[in-house]
Structure 1
Amino acid sequence: MLKALTIRHADMDDLTACHTIEANCFPPSEAAWASSLRNRIEQYPDGFLVAECEGRVVGQVNSGSTNKDDITDEEFKQLIGHDPEGRNLVIFSLSVHPDFQRRGIAGKLLANFIGHARDLGKAAIKLLCKEPLVPYYARFGFADDGLSSSSHGGAVWHAMTLELED
């Protein structure tokens, strides 16, 4: 049974836990480097949430903000071209430590993130995911925009968008 879960903004004290989660959830060719995660926490804390259970960070969702609709630019993952006032949030990673998966934590993180994006006045949330995750994100209202031109980590990615404006 899952104990009390807190979702909050990440801070620098969360960096090691976030990197550990990232490294456990993605192949090395796809996982964000600690330096990338540090950069995201420092430059855009509004777009970086963690899930904490009994004082332990067990999940994360991190993002950047842009006015662009094409989110395949690899440099953007380093927040090059990031605009805090951009109309779109771009999720780089939604991940939960394997020891805590299948408990609804990712869904709670994503739902909280979507609410936060609305509070920030964003127009849309965009992300890239692999084929098996398309139905997962669709349950939250994301539309499959088709195959992306991104070849990040040598994988095939689907682009997905959740429109937030009425």
Structure 2
Amino acid sequence: MSLYARQLNINDLERSLAVETAAFPPAEAATREKVIEYRLTVCPEICIGLFLRAGASLPSPIPHDIPFVEDSTPSDDVLLAHVISTKTTNKPVKDEDMDYPRNWKEDPQGDYAVGHNKNGRTIALHALAVAPDYQRVGLGKAIMRVYIQRTKSLNAADRISILTYDRLVPYYQRLGFEHYGKSESEYAGVAWHDLVSDINNKSRKTNANWDVVLHTIFASLHTFHQGIFGEDQATNDKLDRDIFPKWIPTMCVESSHLKDGLG
């Protein structure tokens, strides 16, 4: 296939920098040392590129399933788009996640107060960039599909979080991200918006299982009080409305709270 994705590395620095600076205005583009060199050095495993093989034409339409290759690829293949990220222990992206340690080159895999946190389970997606000559043909959506699927398959994180501009909120919502509203982040003086995509299937399955448990409890209690009070609808309605809702919260944590770590 002419299109493929692979993990980026420091050897892709110049190509990634070219895509980044071409895709964004100077005030918005990542700097060489901060975003590109730092992140491709300390956490290349969560940075990927979408490539077109040298001499090949861009397929139309863009295929839904683009292969991810693990091996090195020819240096003359064309980088069309990239996703560059770090990890964090925060759920929405914070200012410290956007930053980088100035002395990181002394110990690239060290623990710092800002930047990449290797123990985090949230991927802070900093850059989704598509080269201008290849924009508006679906490559942004294509690389995000690959990125999300790879993150899931590696169990690399529980969620992907993004800070973005107001105008891009609908775009990321179409990719499955949930809009959390205006961000507390004031990084670079921008009015950011928080978006999060929960990719941990286990968490969603757990929540779904609790919904089944609660439904079963209500059904059993309803059958029980019908056996006592018969078909007296007024009494049944009162129990359903006034009594059971007070019992259930004492028996288990409400399923909607599980995702917040309360259960």
CA contact (8 A) 1:65 1:82 kept: yes
Alpha-carbon distance between aligned partners in 1 of 2:147 and 2:22, rounded to the nearest angstrom: 22
Helix, strand or coil for the counterpart of 1:113? helix
Unaligned segments of structure 2, at least 5 residues: 54-76, 102-113, 205-263
Alignment of 1:21-100 (within 5 A): 21-36=19-34, 37-54=36-53, 55-74=77-96, 76-78=98-100, 80-100=114-134
After superposition, the C-alpha distances for 1:103-124 in whole angstroms (9 at most, x for unaligned) are 2111111111111221232111
Identity, % of aligned pairs?
Answer: 29
Q: Is the 8 A contact 2:88 2:97 kept in 1?
A: no
**Structure 1 or 2: larger strand share?**
1
Contact (CA 8 Å) 2:23, 2:132: kept in 1 or not?
Answer: yes
**Which deviates the most, 114-123 or 138-147?**
114-123
Between stretches 90-99 and 74-83, larger displacement belongs to 74-83
Give 1:150 shift: 2.6
- Paired with 2:163 and 2:97, the residues of 1 have a C-alpha distance of 15
Aligned 8 A contact 1:29 1:153 in 2: no
Which protein has the bigger helix share?
2
Which segment drifts farther, 67-76 or 11-20? 67-76
Q: 1:116 to 1:85 in 2, by over 3 A?
A: farther
- Size of the aligned set, in residue pairs, is 164
TM-score, L = length of structure 1:
0.90
For 1:126-141, what aligned pairs fall within 5 Å after superposition?
126-141=161-176
Q: Which has the higher contact order (CA 8 A, sep 6+)?
A: 1
SS in 2 for 1:60: strand
CA deviation after TM superposition for structure 1 residue 81, in Å: 4.5
Read off the aligned partner of 1:43 and give its amino acid letter: V
Task: Describe the shift of the 1:12–1:62 C-alpha distance in structure 2 as closer, same or farther (beyond 3 A).
Answer: same
Q: How far 1:18 sits from its partner (Å)? A: 0.9
Q: Give the match's secondary structure for 1:8.
A: strand
In structure 1, the residue corresponding to 2:17 is in which secondary structure?
Answer: helix
The answer to whether the 8 Å contact 1:89/1:117 transfers is no
Aligned match of 2:153 in 119, 140, 149? 119
After the TM superposition, which parts of structure 1 deviate over 4 Å for at least 4 consecutive aligned residues?
A: none
Please give the per-residue CA displacement for 1:88-136, whole angstroms capped at 9, x wherever unaligned: 0010000100001112111111111111221232111000111121111
Q: TM-score, normalising length from structure 2?
A: 0.58
Q: Which has the larger radius of gyration?
A: 2
